[in-house]
Each structure stands twice: as structure tokens, then as C-alpha cells.
Amino acid sequence: STPPLELTLVVAATARDMGIGANGGLPWTGLRKEMAYFARVTKRGDGNAVIMGRKTWDSIPPKFRPLRGRLNIVISRSFVPGLPKDPAGGPDASHVEASSLETALEYLRQRRKAAGTPGSGRVFVIGGAQIYAAALGLADARRVLLTRIMSDFSCDTFFPLALGSPTNAAAEAMADAPKWVQRSRAEHAAWIGEEVPEDVQTDNGTEYEFQMWERVD
């Protein structure tokens, strides 16, 4: 049966200041195991969707997009307003174009009436900063799969929520701010459907760890 439409944000961000991007691309290179984790987790199960902003879509090399095995939804103000249309050849063939996050979610709600079809599985918001911010403004955003990058990189784009960093204390002090808590490794593993390594990972000299955060209000 079709699970409720809830959003899981997937992001890799620096521990120091939640940096996610530089000059239109990723601040780091060669995080091969991290990229493989992203691919496995967003593909696992049937009919998953990935939602991204137009700039993130542009940052993916054309030969790697749409991201395989997932319904890709791209958001741009330049796309036709209203309920998005299926692409020619069906939603598996290319990407769906939505003029807002809200119309993307409306499209997915329609698709979810039929179990097993593209868009009826888990829904991941995969960036960038503008689309994360739009998603975090909706009550549907329940979870963040965070790759916490220990090494520091110079960034010009930042994840708009401080998870586990010192500035979070100020946000948590606001009575109406949503509360985010880090889940245990066992809970994280159960949700993604694979073991989560306990130790710090290293790719290409960069240290990072996999975390899962959930909204508890």
C-alpha cells in the first residue's frame, strides 16, 4: 500500500556551518562511498521520487540525469504553472517539470493513488538550499538524512537548518520552532534498510558520518 506523502531531505553538509555548495557545484570531490549511499538509499523500494531545484538539476552532468531508477521532479519558476504534466514517454522516461514545490507534491498525490507506479514510493528532497528551505517550511518535511562532513570546505550555499551545530541552541529556544532530534544508528538503519557504519568514513581524505534526524512536533 502507498505510504503517506512525507518528505525526507537528503543532504551532505559541513559540520562547522552546514555548507553544501560552492560555485554551483559541490564543495568537495570524490566522495564515492557517500554518493553510492545516496544512490542506494534513494532507490531502495518501488517508485521513489527525487525533487530538486533547477540549479541542482543543472549541476548534474547530462549523462547522469535524470537520476536512474527514481522519478525526477525539477522545480523552476520558468515552468508552466499548475499541475505538472507527465513527460512524453511517461514519468520514467525523463523528468517532470513543476513550477513550485506545492504543485510537485500535488502531482505526487495524484500519482500515489496507484501503488507501485513512479512517484508512489518514498519522496526525497535532494536540494539545493532554496528547495530545502521551501520543504522545511512545510509540515510534510519529517526527516533529514544528513551526511555530516567533518573536514572544512569553503562554501557559498548553506543548508537552512542547523542540525547539531552550536547555532541550533538559539533556534531551539524559540517556542514555535519545529524540534529536530537525531535518531539512533539502529533507527536510522531500520528506516533506510541497510546497516549504518559506526565509525567515521573517509573518502579521498575527507571525513564524514551518516546521520538521521527527525522532526518530533
The residues carrying an active-site annotation are 26, 34
Here the cell at position 48 is 521513489
Residues 65, 144, 17, 179: is their CA dihedral positive or negative?
positive
If the CB atoms of residues 102 and 172 are measured against ligand NDP, the closer one turns out to be 102
Q: Which residues of 138-150 are buried (b: 16+ CB within 10 A; e: fewer)?
A: eebbbbbbbbbbe
The answer to whether 81 contacts ligand NDP (rule: CB under 6 A) is no
Ramachandran region, residue 120 (left: φ > 0; alpha: ψ -120 to 50; beta: rest) = alpha
Residues 197, 8, 168, 175: is their CA dihedral positive or negative?
negative
The answer to whether 56 contacts ligand NDP (rule: CB under 6 A) is yes
If the CB atoms of residues 55 and 112 are measured against ligand NDP, the closer one turns out to be 55
The residue from 77, 166, 169, 205 that contacts ligand NDP (CB under 6 A) is 77
CA dist 205 and 31 (Å) reads: 9
If the CB atoms of residues 59 and 182 are measured against ligand NDP, the closer one turns out to be 59
Give the position of cell 564515492: 32
- Rounded to 5 degrees, what are φ and ψ at 182? -85, 130
The answer to whether 211 contacts ligand NDP (rule: CB under 6 A) is no
The answer to whether 95 contacts ligand NDP (rule: CB under 6 A) is no
> What's the closest the beta carbon of residue 115 comes to ligand NDP, in angstroms?
29
- Rounded to 5 degrees, what are φ and ψ at 36? -70, -40
Q: Which stretch binds ligand NDP (CB under 6 A): 87-95, 105-113, 120-128, 202-210?
A: 120-128
The answer to whether 131 contacts ligand NDP (rule: CB under 6 A) is yes
Q: In the window 154-173, what residues touch ligand NDP (CB under 6 A)?
A: 157
The residue from 18, 26, 51, 192 that contacts ligand NDP (CB under 6 A) is 26
Task: State the residues that interact with ligand NDP by CB under 6 A.
Answer: 11-12, 20-21, 24-26, 52-56, 59, 75-78, 99-100, 126-131, 134, 157
